[in-house]
């Protein structure tokens, strides 16, 4: 397999970054994120989704094989063409940007292989940044360290290991994670729930990525909590 070349440049964002792909995108939610000051980047054809929401991407990153019309963007926004074929456009956008918290929209839905590829990408990059995948019903927050948040009592709180990981403790969950080892294909922590609202999850160490899955209504709160944690 050909070794991936280093990206020609890395675009840094201080605030919330939203990377948009060509999958299922809620345009109203995308506009709401934009109104909070989020930066919008199109992963190749995801730029068309941003335009469909009546917005403009600050940058378009990818191999440009699915962007509807590259020429019309010349001089209008930042274009970063990366021709390598070892990664998806989503991963190209991840390794070509930096931001404390990244929301990824349009990386799930429509095609299941794209969803699997998105999970693989966040597994590789979760050590460097917090990534929040958004679909029609849920958010999936890729984390490596501890995380605290508050949801409504008895609200669903699911935990999924992206790699084998052991948890030191949890607080505020119906089924404690204390000392529990989770691993793909062995054991997951789906369909847990909050006992009385606030909860905290602490893995052993800070290098193994895991997913926290919550109802999508908590996106803005989780993004704010993750941003505060990153700062």
Confidence at 40, pLDDT banded by 50, 70, 90: very high
Task: Provide the pLDDT for residue 2.
Answer: 38
Per-residue model confidence (pLDDT) at position 8:
59
Q: Looking at residues 204-226, what average pLDDT do you find? A: 95
Q: Which residue has the higher pLDDT, 6 or 3?
A: 6
Whole-structure pTM value = 0.92
Average pLDDT over residues 159-172: 96
The residues, ordered by sequence, that sit 6+ positions from 13 with a Cβ below 8 Å of its Cβ are 39, 97, 98, 99
How far apart are the C-alpha atoms of 195 and 220, rounded to whole Å?
Answer: 22
Place of tokens 């794209």: 114
Please state, as a whole number, how many other Cβ atoms lie within 10 Å of the Cβ of residue 179.
10
Q: Which pLDDT does position 72 carry in this prediction?
A: 81
Predicted confidence at residue 4, as pLDDT, reads 47
- Segment 167-194 mean pLDDT: 94
Express each pLDDT in 51-108 by its tens digit. 999 999 999 999 888 777 777 887 789 999 998 888 999 999 999 999 999 999 999 8
**On the CB side of 18, how many CA atoms lie within 13 Å of its CA?**
30
The predicted-structure confidence for 107-161, as pLDDT tens digits, reads as follows: 986 778 888 989 999 999 999 899 999 999 999 999 999 999 999 999 999 999 9
Spatial distance between the Cα atoms of 33 and 140, rounded to a whole number of angstroms: 17
Backbone CA torsion sign across 162, 168, 173, 174: positive
pLDDT value for 5: 47
What pLDDT, on the 0 to 100 scale, is given for residue 114? 83
**Which DSSP category does 173 fall into?**
B
Which residue is it, tokens 């895991």?
A: 210
pLDDT value for 64: 85
pLDDT more than 90, % of the chain: 74
């Amino acid at each position: 397999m050909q070794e991936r070349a280093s990206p020609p440049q890395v675009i840094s964002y201080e605030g919330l970054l939203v990377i948009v792909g060509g999958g299922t995108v809620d345009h109203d939610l995308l506009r709401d994120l934009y109104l909070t000051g989020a930066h919008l980047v199109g992963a190749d054809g995801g730029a068309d989704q941003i335009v469909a929401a009546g917005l403009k991407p600050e940058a378009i990153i990818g191999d440009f094989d699915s962007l509807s019309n590259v020429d019309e963007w010349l001089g209008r926004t930042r274009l970063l063409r990366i021709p390598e074929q070892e990664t998806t456009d989503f991963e190209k956008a991840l390794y070509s940007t930096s931001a404390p918290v990244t929301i990824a929209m349009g990386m799930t839905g429509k095609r299941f292989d794209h969803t699997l590829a998105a999970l693989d990408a966040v597994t590789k990059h979760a050590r460097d940044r917090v990534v929040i995948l958004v679909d029609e019903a849920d958010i999936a927050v890729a984390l490596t360290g501890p995380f605290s948040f508050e949801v409504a009592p008895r609200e669903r709180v699911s935990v999924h290991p992206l790699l084998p990981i052991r948890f030191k403790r949890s607080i505020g969950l119906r089924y404690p994670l204390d000392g529990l080892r989770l691993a793909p294909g062995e054991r997951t922590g789906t369909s847990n729930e909050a006992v009385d609202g606030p909860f905290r999850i602490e893995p052993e160490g800070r290098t193994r990525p895991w997913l926290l899955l919550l109802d999508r209504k908590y996106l803005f709160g989780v993004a704010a909590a993750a941003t505060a944690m990153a700062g």
